[in-house]
Structure 1
Amino acid sequence: MIFSPTRLEGAYIIEMERRVDERGFFARTWCAQEFARHGLADTLIQCGMSHNVQRGTLRGMHYQSAPYGEDKVVQCLAGAIHDVIVDLRSSSPTYCQWLGVELTAHNGRMIYVPPGFAHGLITLADDTRVGYFMGREHAPRAEAGVRFDDPAFGIEWPLPVSVISERDRQWPDYVP
């Protein structure tokens, strides 16, 4: 696995090192030892998956409030997404900055999202599946979010939103 730091402190793009032969390829998507070597959470507690039927489906921007902040690795399993993270840690030098990265089933990239970040995505293809690998158990009482179009961040989405839940549409503006 290849870990590349992003411009947001503590967030990484992770590339799979593929072992290719006539059958296709094999690659690791998780290794506790490699995560620990990079100073990242090395415990995998929970996994989830979302299926998104239509291109332009937006999920986010979600996070778990302290003290239940969760770290996660996000990977596109089928289709393609534009994945976005926002640093909400007030003590961070990258506070309120965002990063968008294209994750596809083809490129195999993953993103490590540290605790204290909001996370969201928009699908770039129909029939897209996304895997979520969390280092902490989900705590429903700590669910929180900010609007995908909050002017505090100025996130630039690559296409218009065609599907969004009412809950995600109604997250409040972020007050730094």
Structure 2
Amino acid sequence: MMGLVQGRAFRDPKQRESLLQWMARHIADEGEHQDDTNPTAPYRSTLVVVPPLGDDLVREVKVALANDTSAPLTTGDAQAPPSTATSQVRSHPEPLLLQGSTIVPLARVLKLETQMATLMQHMRPWMQQFVEESEACMEQMMDRKIQVVHKRLDAFELRVLERPASSVDITTFQTELARLRSDVDVVTPPKTRRLS
């Protein structure tokens, strides 16, 4: 996130500073960071399993849904013999984990979605302004290139028009060709004339 803020998208220091202040005010919450650093702390909210975005995400989700049983893990009606395993059972059921998936509290997911939506609302005007400036710059550059091409075409047309008109007409060309043929006939022996 910081790379985006400090990158080219926010060239205006005023925009960059106001976004950093907004992030410091709305996103940084020391209590949430403590949950991330202490994985043994009890969960305070509903958990969401976030699967990794693998090559075959659809297949993995289908497998997870097929393996998911909607029946509760413990029932109050059944009498089971006491064992050491039941004393170690946590108070909440463990969600089904796919390989490489991450457990995230639902409250964190919802808060992050809200923060991202708010951040996008703040960024959208700047992004639109950046797109408009880029389009205007591109349009000006294309106009300049088109003008250069038109100037070159005009210069070429002027050079063609300034050339002197050819003074050779077709009758002069035909008489010159006939004279050359007669000269060739005189030079070549009669034997080769019959073959051609």
Would you call these one fold, judging by a TM-score over 0.5? no
Higher strand share: 1
Higher helix share: 2
Under a length normalisation based on structure 2, what TM-score does the superposition of the two structures give? Answer: 0.17
Which has the higher relative contact order, 1 or 2, with Cα contacts under 8 A spaced 6 or more apart? 1
Under a length normalisation based on structure 1, what TM-score does the superposition of the two structures give? Answer: 0.18
